[in-house]
Amino acid sequence: MPANSLRSIYSPKPIFCSLLQAGQRFQGIQNSWKLIKDLDYWTVNVEIQNYEPEKGYICGSMEAIDVPRFDYPVITFWEGQVVDNIHYGFRTGCWDATEDDDLRHWSKFSAFRPFERMFERNRAREVALHPLEFVFMRWKERYFVNVSHNCGLTIAGFYYICMNRITGETQGYYFDPDSVPFQKLQLSPLPRFTTSSFAFQ
Amino acid sequence: MDETIGTGSLCLESEATDTLKETVKRIKNLCVGHPAKKQAYIKQGIIPTLLKLIDRRDSELTWQICGTIGILANNNVAGAEQVASNSGLCTLLSLLSSDDERLVKQASLCILGALKSVERPAKIFLENIQLLESVCSLFCNPFASASLRECTCFILTSCLENAESEQIVDWFRISNFCFEKLKSCNLRDPRTLTPYLNVLKSLTMRNREIGKQFIEHNFVELLVEVMKGVDMTLKVIACRLYTNLMNFSLLQEDQASKDTAVIIMPFLNRMLSNRDRNIQLEGCKMLTQVVAIAEIYQQQAFDCNLVHCLIELGHNINISDVEAACILLQAVAAVCSLVEECRRLVIESRLFSLVVNSLDTSYPELRIAGLSALRSLSRSVRNLRASLAEAVLMEPLLRSLSDENKQVQIQALSTVCNLVLYFSPLKNSFLESNGLTTLLNLCHSNDKSLKYYAVWALKNLLFLSGSKMKKRIIDEIGMDYIFCLIEKGEDYSFQEQGINLLRNLTCTFSIECERENILDFIDEHCYRLVLCIQDSLQSPCMEVVLQALYVVCNFVVGSERHKQAICNSKIPKLLLNFLTNPSYLIRIATIWCIINLIWKETNDINDVSNLADYRRARIASFMEMGYEEMLEGLLADSNVEVRGRAEMALQLLRDRTISDFGDENDYEQVSRGILL
């Protein structure tokens, strides 16, 4: 559905996706190109721990296995913003990301193409995103769960994320001005759909 | 015994009016500023004696007596109790209909002083309807003086704080009178509005109809003007009244939100920052009421620095000041219930120590308030994982689960619901401290509330739990218990919790890991489980239906036997109907059930062979039932996920091109590849 056709028809609504429910798990890899053309990559397991579509809030854990120089998995806790144009738009506005950084990273996803021009004209916020096949998010790691913060790894940056709501295939690009640019995250949901639930009292 | 007291009492037996007047006056003068003398007189029973001497034919004497009784009863519980006894109040109230304004004023002050000094002023009137009715009539006297109005207003508002008062008097007579007076009040002197707004504030606490009439009389603007004024007492009353109207959703949301942000929140900031303890605490109570209405007000409270104000208050309130600590903790519980930034500020401040320390006091009301605050703070994955993990919470919490006070138990259970979640390090502490045994006992409680929260906690405990934990719980509580929750649910809320328990029990992420442990407890109860799901899918409660669909999704994964059990029941027919359900959540969950039923498994829990044959037969059956047509219809669904999943299900249903011996990964790639 073309982006500009979404402008006047719908008002934005929270984005529901069955693959973003608490307990859903994803597996994949993260890779980064070092300056000397070597490709580092490691296995990543992501678990969604809470998703509140009415707030555009998501959080979970990320387990990185076979990280270079580490003998054991490194687990972080992350919190995310769901780009729903109600609570969060495509412009980050924090975490040291400029609008140019936003455009450069979002443009890496083909699903973002219909919004590029609108973003440049500062009109991407006018679009209802809930009917789309893709969910855009930003994931920001907040702290290390099982290692100390001076372990040599950094979580200063955040991921620009694009997830296909149907297949669950997820791509992400890590942004941190002080790290190798465009480290790529690729995730797939577990083969079978099973679901557990909780509710805060 | 003090001679003067003895002499005074003797003189009160005189029949000479002048002597009586002099004596009464002297007693009053002796008591002013002399609490010991006052106490001595009261102990000797001077108040009933004075009350007997009241004679409406002699206004001067009666006036003196009222003044003296007022001094004796003011700030003295024993004296006030004697005045506020049945006959004493009747006598004094009868004076309020006198033509002598001076006497009416004195009697009003006397009654007011006494009632403000007793513990439960409303009790007297709630137990004597005639007395209350006479107060109502006095209040509604159009010619009543200011002091009479103030006195009767105090009585009425005290009674209205009590929920029992609702049914015993026709309050519409009072509200109508107040509306008439508001229309004719002199707005240049807003203080004239005080008694009417005060009574209306109390009336609208529980009475929506009166609130509605307030709006129909177009008084909201007046209220907003008063809130912007300078009179503190009146502002507090007006804010409370406004909040009552918000509580009943009688105001337009946009306007209420704006008025709260611009007027009420800044006013509350000033109240909380005031040096007067009573004003601070009143501010806390009002804040609690406002932010409980909706999340936006909690956000406004954060934006207006009210959380910082609460933290500052916490520095000055000692836990030994039970009343203040309770009110503060209740405000914390309310303001932190939905907004993460508020929680973060409290947890990072010294106020958090007050929360933790309150769990261990000997005052049940303080434990309740502390537990309520802790529950609000724990409604956050981030806090559970990190900040709360450090605190020494588990011991006092477990003690509270066995508290003799039921409200303490309920609050403790509600908090445990959050603390036993999978990502909370406190879950381990809970289990290691034998908390599970206590929890399972509470699941069998005869008290409905306790049982409900215990089941909720159990559900949360089972969220993403491994098979060992599941097996342990089933061994201890039995599948029968869970089935009974669902089959004979006292109401839908219990059924919903029960079916959620089943959902969490049947959720598996790795067939290999679950193989041994799931087999026993699910297979043994397979037939009953399927019947239970079938009945739940026919529930009129959509939430129960949705959870039952998720149970089907989980139940059939990796097990041909389970798939067949489902397909041999009425469930496939029910699923077909759900494909056209108005709720997209139901449609999506249904399609997932279909996908999982026709998924090509290569592993089976029971090592069933010929999986391909069974699958083909199942697909043929689904085709015959009309699944293909129904799913095709969903390709034009208004919801993007419904469309996408329907396409996926159709591809699985129709797929003839992949060899039955193909690799599962290839199969997955094709399934996903369709929609990329």
Cβ-based contacts of B585 with chain A (< 8 Å): 16
Residue A201 to residue B453, Cβ atoms within 8 A: yes
Residue A8, helix vs strand vs coil: coil
Residues in chain A within 8 Å Cβ distance of B378: 200
CA pair distance B347, B306, nearest whole angstrom? 15
pLDDT bracket for residue B345 (50, 70, 90):
very high
Does B423 lie at the interface with A, CB-CB under 8 angstroms? yes
**Beta strands per DSSP E along B21-105:** none
The DSSP secondary-structure symbol of A174 reads E
Q: What is the pLDDT of residue A15?
A: 95
User: Which positions in chain B touch A59 (Cβ < 8 Å)?
Assistant: 381-382
Cβ of B386 within 8 Å of Cβ of A77? The answer is yes
Residue B2: pLDDT over 70 = no
The reported pLDDT for the residue numbered B306 is 97
Give the pLDDT of residue A158: 96
Residue A175, classed as helix, strand or coil, is strand
Q: Does B284 touch chain A (CB under 8 A)?
A: no
Q: Do A194 and B508 touch (CB under 8 A)?
A: yes
Look at residue B670 in the predicted model and tell me its pLDDT. 41
For B90, the enclosing helix (H) or strand (E) is helix B86-94
CB < 8 Å from A in window 550-589 of B: 550, 553-554, 557-558, 584-585, 588-589
Structure-block tokens of residue A21: 């429910």
Q: Is residue B459 less than 8 Å (CB to CB) from chain A?
A: yes
- Looking at the partner chain, which of A17, A190, A196 has a beta carbon nearest the beta carbon of B463? A196
Rounded CA-CA distance B80/B117 in Å is 6
> What gap in Å lies between CA B368 and CA A157, rounded to an integer?
42
pLDDT for res B659: 40
Annotate A35-93 with DSSP letters as a single string: TTSPEEEEEEEEEEEEEETTTTEEEEEEEEES-TT-SS-EEEEEEEEE--SSS--S---
Q: Do B509 and A49 touch (CB under 8 A)?
A: no
A39: left (phi over 0), alpha (psi -120 to 50) or beta: beta
What local confidence, expressed as pLDDT, does residue A39 receive? 64
Task: Tell whether the model's pLDDT for residue B10 goes beyond 60.
Answer: no
**Matching residue, tokens 């008025």:** B259
Q: What is the pLDDT of residues B61-110, one digit of tens each?
A: 898 889 998 888 888 888 888 887 757 888 888 888 888 888 889 999 88
> Nearest CB to B641: which of A17, A194, A200?
A17
Residue-wise pLDDT for B204-239, tens only, equals 998 999 999 999 999 999 999 999 988 888 999 999
Neighbours of B348 (CB within 10 A): 11
Residues pairing with A61 in the sheet? A47, A77
Record: contact A195-B550, CB cut-off 8 A? yes
Among the listed residues A86, A83, A127, the one whose alpha carbon sits nearest the alpha carbon of residue A109 = A83
- The verdict on A145 touching B (C-beta cutoff 8 Å) is yes
CA–CA distance, A108 with A99 (Å, rounded to integer) = 14
Please tell me what DSSP assigns to residue A16.
P
pTM over 0.95: no
Mean pLDDT of chain A: 88
Please indicate whether, in this complex, the C-beta atoms of A50 and B381 are within 8 angstroms of each other.
yes
- How far is residue B670's CA from residue B659's CA, in Å, rounded to a whole number? 12
pLDDT at B667: 43
CA–CA distance, B392 with B595 (Å, rounded to integer): 46
* φ/ψ (deg, to 5) at B296: -55, -30
* pLDDT category of residue B672 using cuts at 50, 70 and 90: very low
pLDDT greater than 90 at residue B201: yes
- Tokens found for residue B195: 């008694």
Residues B259 and B239 sit within 8 Å (Cβ to Cβ): no
Task: Please state the rounded mean pLDDT for residues B291-310.
Answer: 96
Which string of b and e fits B349-360 if b means at least 16 CB within 10 Å? bebbebbbebbe
* B455 Cα to chain A: minimum distance (Å): 12
How close does chain B come to A36, measured CA to CA in Å? Answer: 33
Over residues B399-405, the mean pLDDT reads 93
| A92-124 pLDDT tens trace | 999 999 999 999 999 999 999 999 888 888 787
pLDDT at position B25: 86
Q: How many angstroms separate the CA of residue A88 from the nearest CA in chain B?
A: 16
Model confidence pLDDT, tens digit, residues A160-201: 999 999 999 999 999 998 877 778 999 999 888 999 999 999
The confidence band for A147, taking pLDDT boundaries of 50, 70 and 90, is: confident
Partner-chain residue, chosen from A61, A133, A167, that has the shortest CB–CB distance to B672:
A167
CB crowding A108-138: b at 16 or more within 10 Å, else e: ebebbebbeebbeeeebbebbbbbbbbbbbb
- The phi-psi region of residue B639 (left if phi > 0; otherwise alpha if psi is between -120 and 50; otherwise beta) is beta
Chain B: closest CA distance from residue A132 (Å):
7
B82: exposed, middle or buried (C-beta count within 10 Å: 0-12, 13-18, 19+)? Answer: buried
Mean confidence (pLDDT) of chain B: 87
Summarize pLDDT for B159-168 with one digit per residue, the tens: 888 767 766 7
**Cβ A191–B595 below 8 Å, yes or no?**
no
Mark B192-214 as b/e (b = at least 16 C-beta within 10 Å).
bbbbbbbbbbbbbbbbeebbebb
How does DSSP classify residue A159?
E
Residue B666 has pLDDT above 80, yes or no: no
Please check the confidence at residue A90 and state whether its pLDDT lies above 60: yes
Chain A residues closer than 8 Å to B557 by CB:
192-194
Answer yes or no: do A77 and B382 touch at CB < 8 A: yes
Residue A154: the pLDDT is 84
DSSP class of A5: G
Q: What percent of chain B has pLDDT over 70?
A: 91
Residue contact A197–B464, C-beta within 8 A: no
Nearest-CA neighbor of B115 among B143, B82, B138?
A: B82
**Can you give the pLDDT at residue B595?**
95
